[in-house]
Amino acid sequence: MNPSRQEAAPHTPCPLYRKCGGCQLQNMDYPRQLHWKQEQVQRLLGRFCKAQPIIGMEHPYHYRNKVQAAFAWDKRRNIVSGVYQASTHRVVPVESCMTEDETADRIMATIRGLMKGFHMTPYDEVTGRGFLRHVLVRRGFATNQVMVVMVTGTPVFPAKNNFCRALRQAHPEVTTIVQNINDRYTSMVLGEREKVLWGPGYIEDVLCSCTFRISPRSFYQINPVQTEILYRTAIDFAGLTGKETVLDAYCGVGTIGLAAAKQGAGRVIGVELNRDAVRDAKANAKASGITNAQFLCADAGEFMVDLAQSGETVDVVFMDPPRAGSDEAFLSSLCRLSPKRVVYISCNPETQARDLRYLTAHGWKVQALQPVDMFPHTNHIETVVLLSKLNTKQHIEVELNLDELDLTAAESKATYEEIREYVLEHTGLKVSHLYIAQVKQKYGIIERENYNKPKSENSRQPKCPPEKEAAITEALKHFGMI
């Protein structure tokens, strides 16, 4: 449903509403926005469970702790900074934004003013000339620590010490300044190389009584006020008593897992493919004094299968996939592990509805559904769902419509485990669910967007080696899938 078609009195406090396109619901006042979001959740997920009233913000403005701006010339050759207009690379100048942190907006204005005196020019994507591409500002709302990231098109930063001194003089609240070098023709904001110009190169923030280290490329929730509510809701749904073993699947830097470890879990296991994120999660646990949480670099789906095969059990699984949702490989592994409860946090009710169809067809029941407004004035909705296993003695017949679950006939011929076992038996190679999914996609077997997709745009995934790709291809041929 298009929110712009809703009948509502004009309510556009931001003059850039139509040019920017970032806040799709500004034609409605905030109570109307919450009503619209509640209707969407009920429409998409109401077949599984009645949604509780959405939890909105008391002060739905200036909630974003991460602000990034692109820099460019305007028609009069003045330096401007702001956001790209929707579906273009044309920069819409932004002096202040009603959703962005006000400290960050003031820092952006100062940098614009300093650029001429330091002979800095905006980067031109077409010619590849110029210096400053973007500026990223992150602030810890609980600690008031501020990081400024200067994204440049070249590693050479003239007068960097003097620039840092001038910026710190104007904004003593800044606690670290980092140069990120992005010299590639790409739509990604951050490059892969970084130099710490001043300070430690990271900031810290406190969330759910836990301390988190945030680096320029770390994934960290944008709205810390609502994140507290979101995570406390998820932990309440988990029903922790101090004895449970909790699995935080694809845990990132450990936010929800560490919060659970501190607020009632007996033991937390965090699993994540990104090695840098695992390192940060361990550091965050140490900084928070948490000893009942461990973090492993592994594929969460395979880890759950291994747990089930070894006879180990897990009481609660937290899953928080990206907007694309989960995939068949992960969901089938989850069903095989069969925890007592699953807490599914989603930033996209449409893909969550698809995944819930799979889980409810495999013996799970949705017990509770709580929407949370994480991004006021936008059309994004966050939801927390609690699932538990049905009583198998009372529910023994399950009808599964593969077409409804977006599975092709080829996918139904062999499970991920059967493909893994075939490859191991015939070649001695161990292959991951991720590698199998990559090869299936290569041969046009329809896959949902993989759950292993990283939340950070700069994170990398391992690619299937040629010898394993050949072995998986042979297995697909054996099962008649290609």
Which residues form the catalytic set?
Answer: 347
Provide the token pair at 347: 């930033």
> How many alpha carbons lie under 13 Å from residue 85 in its C-beta half-sphere?
10
Is the CB of residue 363 less than 8 Å from the CB of residue 357? no
Give the full edge-to-edge strand order of the sheet including 132-139.
91-93, 79-84, 66-73, 132-139, 146-152, 174-181, 193-198
Buried b (16+ CB within 10 A) or exposed e, 177-187: bbbbbbeeeee
DSSP letters along 21-68, please? Answer: -S-TTTTS-HHHHHHHHHHHHHHHHTTTSPPPPPB--SS-SS-BSEEE
Query: Using CA atoms, how far apart are residues 139 and 142, in angstroms rounded to an integer?
Result: 9
Q: Among residues 453, 304, 378, 480, which one has the least CA distance to residue 56? A: 378
In order of 64, 214, 224, 349, the CA distances from 221 in angstroms are: 9, 11, 6, 18
Buried b (16+ CB within 10 A) or exposed e, 285-312: beebebeebebeeebbbbbbbebbeeee
Q: Among residues 311, 326, 318, 480, which one has the least CA distance to residue 411? A: 480
Residue entry with tokens 């200067």: 150
Query: Using CA atoms, how far apart are residues 474 and 436, in angstroms rounded to an integer?
Result: 12
Q: Is 134 helix (H, G, I), strand (E, B) or coil?
A: strand
Q: Helices 349-361 and 30-45 meet at what angle, rounded to 10? A: 30
Q: Which residues pair with 152 in a beta bridge?
A: 132, 181
Helical H runs in 147-222? 160-170
In order of 304, 343, 422, the CA distances from 426 in angstroms are: 24, 38, 6
